[in-house]
Amino acid sequence: QSVVTQSPSASGTPGQRVTISCSGSSSNIGSNPVTWYQQLPGAAPKLLIYGNTQRPSGVPDRFSGSRSGTSASLGISGLQSEDEAEYYCAAWDDSLSGPVFGGGTKLTVL
């Protein structure tokens, strides 16, 4: 069981905005920046958000991140069919002295 938890599934229709949440503790999300990854079916994960809110070059601004206390959220606006994927949050954990991943949220575009 992950020390960082995510809802297993989320869904939305094209054009809609969806939010994916991630909950941790004071030793990870509460004290370290959060990262989000997108994993399309059959592909390697792709860095989507780092430093809680920053987008790497090439990531559309439809994707946004936020953090509050020991929780974080990934927002996807203008939902598109190609956004259907698994989304993972991650953060450094001070107790484990290493990264921890959330269990993942499968996003379905209806």
Partner 1 sequence: EVQLVQSGAEVKKPGESLKISCKGSGYRFTSYWIGWVRQMPGKGLEWMGIIYPGDSDTRYSPSFQGQVTISADKSTSTVYLQWSSLKASDTAIYYCASPGGYSYGSVAFEIWGQGTMVIVSS
Residues of this chain that interact with partner 1 (CB under 8 A) are 2, 32-33, 35, 37, 39, 44-47, 50-51, 56, 86, 88, 90-92, 96-104
CB of 97 to partner 1, least distance (A): 7
Each residue of 28-51: b (16+ CB within 10 Å) or e? bbeebbbbbbbbeeeeebeebbbe
CB of 3 to partner 1, least distance (A): 11
Nearer to partner 1, 13 or 44 (CB): 44
Nearer to partner 1, 90 or 107 (CB): 90
CB of 14 to partner 1, least distance (A): 26
